[in-house]
Amino acid sequence: MIKRIQKLLTVIVVPGYTVMALCLIYWLMLGMNVLEIRAFSVNVIIGLVFVMSAVSALTGTWLKFYYINSAQEDLDNLNELNTKLRRQRHEYLNEMQVVYGLLELGEGEEALEFLKPVYEETAKTGRALKTAHPAVNALLMNKMNQAEERHIGFYIETSSNLANAAMDAWSLCKVLGNLIDNALTAAEQDEKAEVHLEIREDAAGCEICIYNNGAFIAEKDRDRIFEDGFSGKNSEGHGLGLGIVRNIVRQAGGTIEWESERGRTVFTIRIPRAVPAGE
């Protein structure tokens, strides 16, 4: 479905930019006196065609980059999660056969030692699958895998499934994805790199708190971290995507707070509770 929409947008965008280019060429030739068209109505029509083409082309481009690409990213995360869960199921069956065999032989202690890493891996997966949004669960699993590959300790504690947050799954993925990516990059600069993510809830709404060790945000950079594309030399890993995060949070009526000192940087997002339909 996403690929079909991408093709449809391409059909809209490419002709739109083509017509815009032709209109510009027309005006350029008119200005150079290559054309002798003086009819005011013709120029008005060309102007209207240019505006309509610009609207369709720019709208299509915006949809493609901000929605379709994000939807594709969420789908990729879900596919990756599905593949991981299928692989874990296969491994789990094999491991249970080993445990069964050890128990039959009366090797209870050996079976217990064998089960310890199996339990730890299962518990880690369970911590990332506690929200009410499959796309968010897939994103968290993906980030956990990335952290493991980069030898970063990534710890997740959830006491809320985010079902009551006044923010859709796509926006939650954007917020969490940007914050986690920044935290992982910053933590990488510490010998014992760690990132902690806490998701909790109270009567006012949901709260997302992420903190890491490693690089901190320098004093001179603190007024600029929400600028698009900013990443200071001494605060590597913080800044990229934070402007997007702040805009999404504000649109949902939430707040973003942060503090940074040597060895610890914390970002706290507060999202109000969703208003039930009909109220």
**Comparison of pLDDT for 277 and 169, the residue scoring more:** 169
Residue 279 lies in a domain: no
In a domain, 74, yes or no: yes
Query: What contacts 130, CB < 8 A, 6 or more positions away?
Result: 137, 158, 161
pLDDT band at 251 (very low <50, low <70, confident <90, very high): very high
Is residue 142 located within the same domain as residue 248?
Answer: yes
Shared-domain flag, residues 160 and 233: yes
Cα 81-245-61 angle, rounded to 5 deg: 80
- CA distances 168 to 64, 134, 162, 171, 272, Å, are 19, 12, 10, 5, 12
Question: Which of 158, 117, 121, 119 lies closest to 137 in space, CA to CA?
Answer: 158
For residue 156, what are its two tokens?
A: 């997740």
1 vs 216, residue with greater confidence: 216
With respect to residue 93, please indicate whether it lies within any of the assigned structural domains: yes
The pLDDT score that the predictor gives to residue 270 is 96
Residue 197 lies in a domain: yes
Instruction: Give the position of tokens 């060895």.
Output: 263
Q: State the residue range of the domain holding 141.
A: 131-272
- 4 with 123, same domain: the answer is yes
pLDDT of residue 275 exceeding 80 = no
Side-chain half-sphere CA neighbours of 172 within 13 A: 26
49 and 87 fall within a common domain: yes
In a domain, 278, yes or no: no
Sequence length of the chain is 279
**Can you give the pLDDT at residue 126?**
56
Position 84 in a domain: yes
Q: What is the average pLDDT across 177-198?
A: 90
Residue 206: pLDDT above 60?
A: yes
Tell whether 112 and 136 lie within a shared domain: no
Choosing from 127, 145, 166, the residue where a domain stops is 127
Domain co-membership, 8 together with 97: yes
Same-domain check for residues 72 and 135: no
Q: Does one domain contain both 110 and 71?
A: yes
Which of 19-28, 141-150, 158-167, 188-197 bottoms out in mean pLDDT, i.e. has the lowest? Answer: 19-28
The 10s digit of each residue's pLDDT in 111-164 is 778 777 766 666 565 555 678 888 888 888 888 888 888 999 888 888 888 999
Give residue-wise pLDDT tens across range 54-66.
Answer: 888 777 776 666 6
Among 95, 111, 127, identify where a domain stops.
127
Q: Would you place residue 31 in the very low, low, confident or very high pLDDT band (cuts 50, 70, 90)? A: confident
pLDDT computed for residue 234 by the predictor: 45
Give the highest mean pLDDT range of 5-19, 46-60, 146-160: 146-160
Number of folded domains that form the chain: 2
Are 52 and 87 in a shared domain?
A: yes
Evaluate whether residue 100 is within a structural domain.
Answer: yes
Q: Which of 72-86, 202-216, 234-248 has the lowest mean pLDDT?
A: 72-86
Pairwise CA distance, residues 112 & 212, whole Å: 33
Same domain, 157 and 254: yes
In a shared domain, residues 149 and 103: no
3-state class (DSSP) for residue 197:
strand
Instruction: Tell me: do 6 and 120 sit in the same domain.
Output: yes
CATH no. for residue 170?
3.30.565.10
What is the pLDDT at residue 211? Answer: 93
Name the pLDDT band for 94 (thresholds 50, 70, 90).
Answer: confident
Last-in-domain residue among 87, 111, 127: 127
Position 36 pLDDT exceeds 90: no
Domain membership of residue 277 (yes or no) is no
